[in-house]
Amino acid sequence: MKNNNSSRFFSFFSSKYISSLCIIAFSFLGLTLSSCEQEPEPIGIGDEQLINTYYTDTVTVNVKVFQSDSINTTSRIGNSRLLMGSLADEYVGRYSAQGFGNISLTTLTEDLQNDAGQGAIFDSLVGFFQTDYVYGDTLAENTIQIYEVSETFENKAYYQFDTLRTSSSILGSAIYPNDLDSNQVLRVPLSEEFGIKLFNYGVNNNFENDSLFRIFSKGLAFRSASPTTSILGINPLAPATNLTLYFHYPDDTVSSSYRFDMPVSFSNIDSDVSNSALSALTTQDFIPSENTNNIAAIQAGTGIGVKLEFPYLSDFVTNQSVVIQRVELDIPALEPAMSYTTPAPNQLLFLFGAGDGFYYSPTGTIQFLQAESGGDAGLSMGYSTQGKSYSYATITSYINQFAKGRIPESDGLIVQPSENNISINRFVFPTQKNTNNLPAIRLRMYYSVAE
């Protein structure tokens, strides 16, 4: 799935969830089916006792880890963030990010002359950037550097592997969190040379044609000069984010200003798993979790996700004439891998898989799974930062459909994170109990056996 433009699929919130199958989704990782080896005992579900209802949590779920390169990181209203910085850990390796934003005119009326016809005099250019995210050491200093983009932004979607050429000189820098104001806005004084460049454009051409201005001034690149401390996020579409050009007129005692914004922006995100538990991904697209020491991971931004397969479910249901009453998926975290400063994605989302890839509808659309409650909502699991775990998912309908062979187009589920374009949150979990006997992911199944 790497470096294949046909695999570009991520726009989780840009369109309706499409699923022609009234199913649900969600299962997680790997356990073995052995419930039929001994006589099960009737159990109660909740407050009610169901006759001839039994329980197992040893159903085999094979887990494959993969990495996609098809995440659309272009900022859009309600879902915008530029990422910058780098981190490294033993589970998913080293990951880094840099942001790119264009510069656009906010109004088309400024001609840099006052009512008396006097021309403006340049004072300074300052960038204000609303921070809304930090991943990693929140107290460590992270030096952010800004460069001028030398390549025109195109009218297209940008993905996490995209980048733009920049100048080699630094326009300005600031230190997070030292240079934050009380509203968590990062203030960055920009070079006088660059400020005068924008100012002179306004004097000679007036700020009256945004298309021509974007050709003249391509944009800004945001990078971190502090290795492996944290990854910072700024919201390019926040009201507080802007470049402010300060100037005054000869007879004025008060400074005037003009603002530029950044309506088009994206993050470039790089991932190197070569020195991690997922190192096999450097040569393979889908790897079974047995090859990762029974550790699996899901990470936003880098494209790391998992596929779940149920190889013996159909035989189990058919051979024993099983009627499935309820199925829950539980995903305990690998606790040593999780912390308050490195939380998991807010939600996990579920799609149909087919072989080593995604299942596409006849119209070419990725198929999301619907929540069991019905409607158009996609199935998801919410993460608790306090509990460092996800709520379990009820997937009774999906498992029933799958076990009866009613989903021939798909052979399993793909699990991906929410906020995939605006974070690098990651979740690490065991697929089997390890030597420390930590709990692994399990499928809890309540079922009846026909007489």
The per-residue pLDDT for 451 is 65
List, in order, residues 6 or more apart from 352 with CB less than 8 Å away: 19, 21, 25, 358, 359, 367, 369, 407, 409, 410, 412, 413, 414
The per-residue pLDDT for 436 is 63
- Give CA separation, 308 vs 195, 234, 287, 362, 406, in Å: 53, 34, 12, 23, 17
Q: How far apart are the C-alpha atoms of 159 and 426, rounded to whole Å?
A: 19
> 34 in helix, strand or coil?
coil
The per-residue pLDDT for 434 is 62
Q: How far apart are the C-alpha atoms of 82 and 98, rounded to whole Å?
A: 7
Q: How far apart are the C-alpha atoms of 54 and 320, rounded to whole Å?
A: 12
- Closest by CA to 236, choosing from 131, 91, 95, 113, is 131
Annotate 80-143 with DSSP letters as a single string: --EEEEEEEETTTEEEEEEEEE--EES-S-B-SB-TT-PBPEEEEEEEEEEEEEEEE-SSS-EE
- Give CA separation, 14 vs 10, 52, 74, 135, 304, in Å: 9, 46, 12, 25, 21
The per-residue pLDDT for 98 is 98
What are the strands, taking DSSP E only, across 277-346? 286-288, 295-299, 304-309, 322-330
Longest dimension (CA), the chain: 97
C-alpha torsion angle, residues 12, 266, 273, 87 (rounded to 10): -110
- Closest by CA to 322, choosing from 1, 33, 12, is 33
Name the residue with tokens 């596409």: 360
- In the chain, where are the structural domains located? 5-72+277-449, 82-263
**What radius of gyration, in Å, describes the C-alpha atoms of the chain?**
26
- Closest by CA to 70, choosing from 13, 7, 164, is 7
Pairing of the two strands 93-101 and 82-89: antiparallel
Return mean pLDDT, the chain: 85
The per-residue pLDDT for 385 is 75
DSSP state of 283: T
- Closest by CA to 402, choosing from 18, 25, 17, is 25
**Tokens encoding 94:** 């080293």
First to last CA, the chain: 47
- Closest by CA to 398, choosing from 389, 390, 410, 381, is 410
Kindly report, residue by residue over 125-146, the tens digit of the pLDDT.
999 999 999 999 998 999 999 9
> 342 in helix, strand or coil?
strand
- Closest by CA to 306, choosing from 392, 414, 383, 379, is 414
Q: How far apart are the C-alpha atoms of 99 and 235, rounded to whole Å?
A: 11
Q: Which residues of the chain have pLDDT under 70?
A: 1-51, 387, 433-437, 451
**Tokens encoding 328:** 């829950």
Kindly report, residue by residue over 220-252, the tens digit of the pLDDT.
999 999 999 999 999 999 999 999 999 999 988
> 165 in helix, strand or coil?
coil
- Cut 0.75: pTM above it: yes
